[in-house]
Amino acid sequence: MKIVYSLMLTLGLGLMATAPLTAQDEAGSLSILHLLDSLEKAWKWQTGTVALGDNLASMNVPTGWRYLPGDQAQFILSDLWGNPPSESLGMLFPENLGPLDSASVAFNITFDELGFVKDDDAADINYDELLGNMQKETVEGNMERTRQGYEAILLVGWASSPYYDKDKKALHWAKELRFGDESQPHTLNYDVRLLGRKGVLSMNAIAGMDGLSTVKGAVPNLLNNVSFTDGNKYSDFDPKIDEVAAWTIGGLVAGKVLAKVGFFAIILKFLKPILLLVLGGGAAIWRWISGRRKEEEEPTPPTEETA
């Protein structure tokens, strides 16, 4: 847990700046370590074949990665990393890194039931022109974002130009972003979409710009290991009964910078929300850990002695 030491250093420096460490301070620091260690042990990692959604799709977890199911992923995104509440089908992390590692990257998996997306426009899109429109919309949306208490966003440009694989019905692209002022590090937002009969399976990578090569290298293997189940595939579309989406390929790329699933906290900056949680007693973390323990423990009938 590399971030634990960063936490302890930050806490220690803050305490030293105001007063010498007391026995109570040291006990508090040990409690924080215990809390984060308990959180690490609470993750229920999975490998092999996992189901996504209600028999919507399946994934063979790629070699070198591991999977956390949706309830844990939602806790990480909202409570641990400080993002707006959002739904998740699960998250992928490298096998040697986790949610508390500052160097980690992750894929968040969601499904948007927006209908059957036609791909007729894929070969005709001017992505440079599209980028300019997206940058303008991002600036215009910053007033509302800051009003809600989130940092302003600058869309710097493409980190990886949009690419559509017509055979696999897969679309992926990457944006370079900056949250906050010019002193902040730039962030990578790598979007991977798999088109299905009734909507789009999204695998959104979260990382710093230094994670671009790792994420980009993982995308082909990820797409080879994820597929819709029979009846949910793109080829299963029935024009007589299925709804056609208002979105096109260009519309998926343009999207809103803060769409339903939200833009996720940057790994490089998520120390702050965690620090606020532990300084506040870690109530959200502990509720989640103790809740999982209650689910796993078998109830014991009371006896006269225990009553």
Q: What is the CATH number of the domain that holds 171?
A: 2.60.120.1690
Residues 205-264 have pLDDT tens digits of 888 888 899 899 999 999 999 999 999 999 999 999 999 998 889 989 987 543 333 344
Residues 59-73 have pLDDT tens digits of 999 999 999 998 888
23: containing domain: 2-41+272-295
279 and 222: one domain?
no
The single-letter DSSP state of residue 268 is G
207 and 285: one domain?
no
| Least confident piece of the model among 126-140, 175-189, 192-206, 244-258 | 244-258
139 and 194: one domain?
yes
18 and 80: one domain?
no
pLDDT of 260 reads 32
Q: Say if 196 falls within a structural domain.
A: yes
285 and 143: one domain?
no
Q: Say if 17 falls within a structural domain.
A: yes
130 and 242: one domain?
yes
pLDDT of 108 reads 93
Which residue from 201, 218, 205, 143 is spatially nearest to 176, judged by alpha carbons? 205
User: Please, are residues 3 and 101 in contact by the beta-carbon 8 Å criterion?
Assistant: yes
| Least confident piece of the model among 11-15, 56-60, 70-74, 180-184 | 11-15
Whole-model pTM over 0.75: no
Number of compact structural domains in the chain: 2
Over range 171-176, report the average pLDDT. Answer: 93
Which residue from 212, 114, 223, 234 is spatially nearest to 161, judged by alpha carbons? 212
| Least confident piece of the model among 24-28, 80-84, 108-112 | 24-28
Q: How far apart are CA 167 and CA 285, in angstroms?
A: 43
Pairing of strands 116-118, 244-248: parallel
